Amino acid sequence: MKNFTKWQGCGNDFVLLDCLQEDIQDYAALARKVCDRHYGVGADGILVVLPSDKADFRMRIFNTDGSEAEMCGNGIRCFARYLYDFGLTKKTSFTVETGAGILVPEIVLADGQVRGVKVDMGEPHLLGEEIPVVGFDGQKVINQVMTVEDQEYHFTAVSMGNPHCVIFVDDAEHFPIYELGHKFETHELFPRKTNTEFVEVKDRKHVRMRVWERGAAVTLACGTGSCATVVAGILNDKLDREAEVELDGGKLLIHWADNNHVFMTGPAELVFSGELADCEAASC
């Protein structure tokens, strides 16, 4: 038996496992099993709470296919609220070690109630080798051209600790994301694959975005993708420094501050708690 909680942030859902005292041998196998929406709990990924010698806590994220992600914006908000709500910390601001470095979530309170979580997501990485994007070493990858299924697309690449390819489109609702998303993810330009955001600019403070996530396909939301979207919008002079990103599952407020850090504010909600009855296949 292994206790778990399930969380969602803008519809991006996660099974969270507290492993501060008890580790798991094979996270990848467990993620594939638990995330299955027919035979498991069902989720876009699993979040693992671990001790850290660099920060207050450590977070690991595994996608539905078992691959490990460096960071997850919606995930870290859920992770932070779990720590606060379940009494693992009394701080409203604390440090979390991730594959993308140490990040600082802040619990947003109003009248003593949690209203959301704000996260300092750090600085965006814009050079080709940092993302990475083949053929752009030493260069920012802004409004460049790529070919997918014999059609040219203009893209801007950003890393928020994980790679993103932002495509501005006329109509995000009707873009064939299910048909083409995998083609962008596995494009030869991206040696570590990429998350891809299809973005319709409504005005300088509001965009509609849909996302194909690396290792998870279409999801209802992506926090790091929302950050990358606003950064790309600013770099292409389409957005102001603070903008709302409307996702399939909700809305996030993103601010690229003057100190070059990107701040993300949004919800994190507990869905339910339970026990994994059989972890044997994943060597729990």
Binding residues for substrate: 12, 63, 73-74, 162, 195, 213-214, 223-224
What is the C-alpha separation between 87 and 84, in angstroms, rounded?
5
Q: Which of 10, 35, 72, 78 is catalytic?
A: 72
Active site residue 222: yes
**Which residue intervals of 122-275 are DSSP H helices?**
177-185, 223-235
Degrees to nearest 5, angle at CA 134 with 129 and 136: 60
Per the annotation, where are the binding residues?
Answer: 12, 63, 73-74, 162, 195, 213-214, 223-224
Would you state the structure tokens that stand for residue 121, as one six-digit string?
């997501």
Active site residue 78: no
What is the C-alpha separation between 251 and 101, in angstroms, rounded?
25
The H or E element containing residue 103 is: strand 101-110
Would you state the structure tokens that stand for residue 270, as one six-digit string?
């507990």
Q: How far is CA 207 from CA 102, 106, 275, 282, in A?
A: 28, 25, 39, 40
The answer to whether 201 and 168 have CB atoms below 8 angstroms apart is: yes
Would you state the structure tokens that stand for residue 198, as one six-digit string?
């299809």
Radius of gyration of the chain (CA): 18
**How many CB atoms neighbour CB 194 within 10 A?**
26
The H or E element containing residue 247 is: strand 242-247
Q: Which of 222, 227, 279, 284 is catalytic?
A: 222
Contacts of 74 (CB under 8 A, 6+ apart): 8, 9, 10, 12, 14, 221, 222, 223, 266, 268
* Residues labelled as active-site residues: 72, 222
